[in-house]
Amino acid sequence: MLKIEHLTKKYGDKIAVDDLNLTVEDGQICAFIGHNGAGKTTTLKAIAGIMGFDNGKISINDIDIQHEPMKAKMQLAYLPDNPDLYEHLKGIEYLNFIADVFGLSVEERKKNIEEFANRLEIYKDLTEPISSYSHGMKQKIALVSALIHKPKLLLLDEPFVGLDPISSHQFKMILQELADNGATIFYSTHVLDVAEKICSHVAIIKQGKLIVHDTMENVKGMSSLEDIFLELENEEHN
Ligand code: ATP
């Protein structure tokens, strides 16, 4: 479970995230949506423990990210929107490095790498250097590295960008399976039709403030998520 209480983050005088409260329970897939600059990446980085914040508390399965960062980070995987990979490494070397970080046994890493790399159709490329990968292939290896320790909390910034339709479909199924097994999934996206299909919940952030958080069903009603989002955005401009 992810619990955010009164999260506030400023860059200088600018408030990027403003007193944000949000809980995502085990087994939920929650889409985090908002216009460019709304505060999504800032929030995700704060949860992942890679960006400090000015006020508030974030806990992952009751572990405080500020007080016990190592313990909290072992529970999660964070995939940034533009992941930095060690490009001089071969795919398999990179995945083994990540598996070492999380202390995975040889059997466990082999099983998880085979499963996720095959499903995302990158397995045969693992012996090649990452520098030779296309944009989509880099996204796939980053996704495999995020899944490799089957995290209890998966934090993803625009995870579908660059994926071909088959891998995108597989990744949606993987997310659903992880959630069915009790993982908590919180991801930012601008692809509202995908979010509408796979997310149990949706959180909408606007100028750093959380303006909506509910089940997908309650938020969109008989409309589409896109229509609801556009309505909320327009309310501000009127
Ligand atoms: P996008 O959808 O474009 O990725 P976002 O919702 O992820 O946007 P953030 O990257 O969290 O938005 O940015 C929130 C606000 O904080 C924006 O106004 C942005 O200009 C500002 N901001 C982000 N990073 C910095 C930084 N390093 N220094 C100063 N301001 C920043």
Q: What is the pLDDT of residues 96-153, one digit of tens each?
A: 999 999 999 999 999 999 999 999 999 999 999 999 999 999 999 999 999 999 999 9
Which of 144, 155, 194 minimizes the C-alpha distance to 2?
155
Give the position, in ligand 1's atom list, of the atom nearest the Cα of 205: 6
Helices 106-119 & 135-147 angle (0-180, nearest 10)? 140
Express each pLDDT in 32-86 by its tens digit.
999 999 999 999 999 999 999 999 999 999 999 999 999 999 999 999 998 889 9
pLDDT of residue 237: 57
Residue nearest to ligand 1 atom 25, measured at CA: 11
Quote the pLDDT of residue 234: 80
d(CA 88, CA 21): 41
Is pLDDT of 215 > 70? yes
**Cα(93) to centroid of ligand 1, in Å?**
33
The residues facing 29 across adjacent strands are: 185
CB of residue 82 inside a 6 A radius of ligand 1: no
Angstrom CA distances, 211 to 13, 86, 165, stand at 22, 38, 32
Check if the beta carbon of residue 29 is closer than 8 Å to that of residue 185. Answer: yes
Question: Which one-letter amino acid corresponds to residue 112?
Answer: N
Ligand 1 centroid, distance to 28 Cα (angstroms): 26
Is the distance from the beta carbon of residue 36 to the nearest atom of ligand 1 less than 6 Å?
Answer: yes
Judge contact between 31 and 9, C-beta under 8 A. Answer: no
Q: Label residue 208 left, alpha or beta by phi (over 0 means left) and psi (-120 to 50 means alpha).
A: left
CA of 138 to the centre of ligand 1 (A): 24
Cβ 46 under 6 angstroms from ligand 1:
no
Predicted pLDDT of residue 61: 96
Is the CB of residue 179 below 6 angstroms from any atom belonging to ligand 1? no
